[in-house]
Amino acid sequence: MPQRDPTQAPALVVGLGNPGAGYARHRHNVGFQVLDALARAHGLSFSREKLARTHTAQGRIGGRSVILAKPQTFVNRSGQAVGRLARWHKVPPQQILVVYDELDLPLGRLRLRPEGGAGGHNGMRSIIEALGTQQFPRLRVGIDRPPGQMDPADYVLHPFSKEEGEIVALVIDQAVAAVEAWLEEGIVAAMDRFNRPWAQDPALNEAGRAAGEGRPA
């Protein structure tokens, strides 16, 4: 029996975050924020999928059949939802893109990779365990390191500051464009375009430079 062509499988784009209005603006929820913006840009709506404990939106982006997913299992158990979705919809790992927050990237920086480890992110560790492989694409969205001696576990559960708001809005737009590029052109082309400081948006570059000047040394 011939194997299914992976390019014909739906693409699964997963944004990581914690469920509930109280978490919505937190740094840890930037994956949810990117998927919400992506869904709005393409007229897609999320609904509850009980089987996988996730909110999903399905449609087409750039000629590709896509499933957007926001796991409702809390970040650290994201693999429970992603594993079930992948099996149910028969999505191979190379067609799963995970969007999540990254402490080790400055605010405004994006980093696409075709595969890799968890890098200390518990949500990614959970997904790797559920899929049984590290070989799936991911889009990391920089949220910067916490100031002073602040515990990173507390820092990710804080909202972005008012001063950071302009950068966040711009980088979410850039992240949406990066996901679209991955869907339409593949991981190599998307990496070439978006793995750069402040991406390619002049306004984002200017906002990032201003924010950097305003931070204590």
Q: Which residues contact 173 (CB under 8 A, 6 or more apart)?
A: 37, 201
Spatial separation of the C-alpha atoms in residues 169 and 180, rounded to whole Å: 17
Q: Give the count of beta carbons closer than 10 Å to the beta carbon of residue 216.
A: 5
Spatial separation of the C-alpha atoms in residues 217 and 210, rounded to whole Å: 14
Nearest to residue 16, comparing CAs of 53, 86, 69? Answer: 69
Residue-wise pLDDT for 158-180, tens only, equals: 999 999 999 999 999 999 999 99
Checking DSSP bridges between strand 96-102 and strand 110-113, what pairing results, if any?
A: unpaired
Give the confidence band of 56 by pLDDT, cuts at 50, 70, 90: very high
CATH among 1.10.10.10, 3.40.50.620, 2.102.10.10, 3.40.50.1470 for 9-214: 3.40.50.1470
Of the candidates 26, 28, 55, 121, the residue annotated as catalytic is 28
Residue-wise pLDDT for 83-129, tens only, equals: 999 999 999 999 999 999 999 999 989 999 999 999 999 999 999 99
Spatial separation of the C-alpha atoms in residues 217 and 215, rounded to whole Å: 6
Each domain of the chain, given as residue ranges in start order, spans: 9-214
Active site residue 28: yes
Instruction: Enter the pTM of the model.
Output: 0.88
Stated length of the chain: 217
